[in-house]
Amino acid sequence: MTLPDGVGPLAGVKVLDLSWIVAGPTVGRAMADYGATVIRVESPTRIDTARVVGPFHGDEPGVEHSGLYGNVNAGKWGLTLDLRVPDAQEIFRRLAVWADIVCESFTAGVLARWQLDYSHLRELKPELIMLSSTLLGQNGPYNQVSGFGSQGAGMAGIQDLAGWPDRAPAGPFGPYTDYPAPRFALTALLAALDHRNRTGEGVFIDQAQAEGSMQLLAPALIDYKNGGPALQRRGNDDPQMCPHGVYPCLVPEGRTEAWVAIAVATDDQWATLAELLGAERSMSLEQRREHQKEIDAAITSWAAGMSGADIEETLQRTGISAHRLATTEDAANDPQLAHRNHFRRLPHSLHGETVVEGPRYILSDTPIQPARPAPQYGEHNLQILNGVLGRSDSEIEELAASGALS
C-alpha cells in the first residue's frame, strides 16, 4: 500500500523532510496542509528537541506528548532512520529520488560526509529541489555554529534588541529565528517548484535562518551601515507613537497579573484618550513624548480599575489601537481566532484528540484541514518502506536488525 495523495494544490508533490525542531518542519507542515505527501524522517536515538519541549498534553512531558512537535509536523508521514547506518543512507537516497523536494537542517557538511548533500543527490536527480537550512548558512567562517533559534536570536541581533536600555537584554520569547525563517523558505520552495514545473531545472536553497530574521531588522541595519546610529533596545518606546506601552490593569481572579497594550499614533487618537484620562487634549507627538512619564502614570491609574478586555473594547471603539496581553487561555477563547477557525482539533490515537494551529492564511477557495496528527515514532515505517520503496517484510526486518530504523 503506497501513500495516498493528499488533497489540495500541492497534491502529488512529494517532500522528504529531514529537517528538525521548528524552522524546517514548519515549512513541511505548510506543504502537507495543502496536499503534498510529506515524509518526516527522524531518529529516536537523536531525539528531535521539539519532542521534549512543551506545551505537553496534560502538562506531562514525553516524546509523544509535545504540542510543539505536533504543531509543526501535523499531516506528515513518519519514518525513522539512523543515517549513520549505511543501509539507512541507501533508503534515504531512494527516497530523495522519489521526492520533488528535500528539506534538511543538519550542521553544514554533515550530509556531505554521507554523500547525501545536494551535490550528490543532484547527480541522482538533476531536477531535485532542496532546502538546506542552518543558523548561519552553508559557508563562511562560522558555518559550523550549531544550536537552536535561541542562539540564532543572539546572532541575528534580535536578542539584544528586546528589553530595557538600563538592563541586560530580556530577549524575545523562544528561538526567534525559527519564526521568520520558514516564511522565506516556504515562499522560495513554492517558487522553485513552479520554476521546475515550467523548466525542469532543479533548485538548491541555502538558508541562514539568522539572515531571514535580519530581513525584519532591515531598517535598523541599513541605518547603521549608511552612517546612522545603531539601534539599541528601548523598552516599549516608539519614536513615532506616544503614549505607547504596556500597562497593568485589573487582575482577574486566579491570575497574578494582567496587562494591556496601548499605542497612540495620531493627535486625534490622543485627544480621544486625553478626554478619558482628563488630560490636556491638544498635545503634539513631541509634547507628549516630553511628558511621557506623566501620561504613562495617568494611564496606569485609569487602567488600574478596569479589566484588559474593557480597556481594549473601550479604546478600540474610539479608534485607538489597544489589546489585552492575551494569555493562552485568552487565545483559546478569542472570538476572532475562533472566527478564523485557527485552532484545529484532530483525532489522536494516544491522546484521543489533539489541537494544532491552522494555516496562517485563509485561501478563500482552498480550505484545508490537516489530514492527520504528527506521526509517532516510526508510525508509517512499513507503509513507506513497503509501499513507496517496495521493500519486502523480510528486507524490512533486516533493516531493523541493522539499526537503520532506530
In the bound state with another protein, the residue whose beta carbon lies nearer, of 143 and 383, is: 143
Site string for another protein, 291-310 (x = CB under 8 A): --------------------
- CA atoms within 13 Å, Cβ hemisphere of 276: 18
The answer to whether residue 216 forms part of the interface with another protein (CB under 8 A) is: yes
CB 155 within 8 A of CB 140: no
The answer to whether residue 206 forms part of the interface with another protein (CB under 8 A) is: yes
Backbone φ, ψ for residue 334 (5° rounding): -70, 120
Q: Which of 3, 85, 112, 161 binds another protein (CB under 8 A)?
A: 161
3-state SS string for 231-251: CCCCCCCECCECCEEEEECCC
CB 49 within 8 A of CB 374: no
CB 175 within 8 A of CB 72: no
The answer to whether residue 378 forms part of the interface with another protein (CB under 8 A) is: no
Of 141-160, which residues contact another protein (CB under 8 A)? 141-148, 150-160
The answer to whether residue 55 forms part of the interface with another protein (CB under 8 A) is: yes
Other Cβ atoms closer than 10 A to 215:
13
Shortest Å distance, C-beta 185 to another protein: 7
The answer to whether residue 218 forms part of the interface with another protein (CB under 8 A) is: yes
The answer to whether residue 349 forms part of the interface with another protein (CB under 8 A) is: no
Q: Which of 75, 202, 370, 373 binds another protein (CB under 8 A)?
A: 202
Shortest Å distance, C-beta 298 to another protein: 16
Q: Which stretch binds another protein (CB under 8 A): 82-90, 94-102, 333-341, 381-389?
A: 333-341
Give the Cα separation of 314 and 299 in Å (integer): 13
Shortest Å distance, C-beta 279 to another protein: 20
* Alpha-carbon torsion (354, 28, 53, 181), positive or negative: negative
Q: Which of 14, 40, 51, 391 binds another protein (CB under 8 A)?
A: 51
Size, binding site for another protein by CB under 8 A: 167
The answer to whether residue 284 forms part of the interface with another protein (CB under 8 A) is: no
Of 73-112, which residues contact another protein (CB under 8 A)? none
The answer to whether residue 24 forms part of the interface with another protein (CB under 8 A) is: no
Which residues face 132 on adjacent strands?
104, 206
Coil, helix or strand at residue 60 = coil
Q: What secondary structure letter does DSSP report for 228? A: -
Give the Cα separation of 302 and 32 in Å (integer): 48
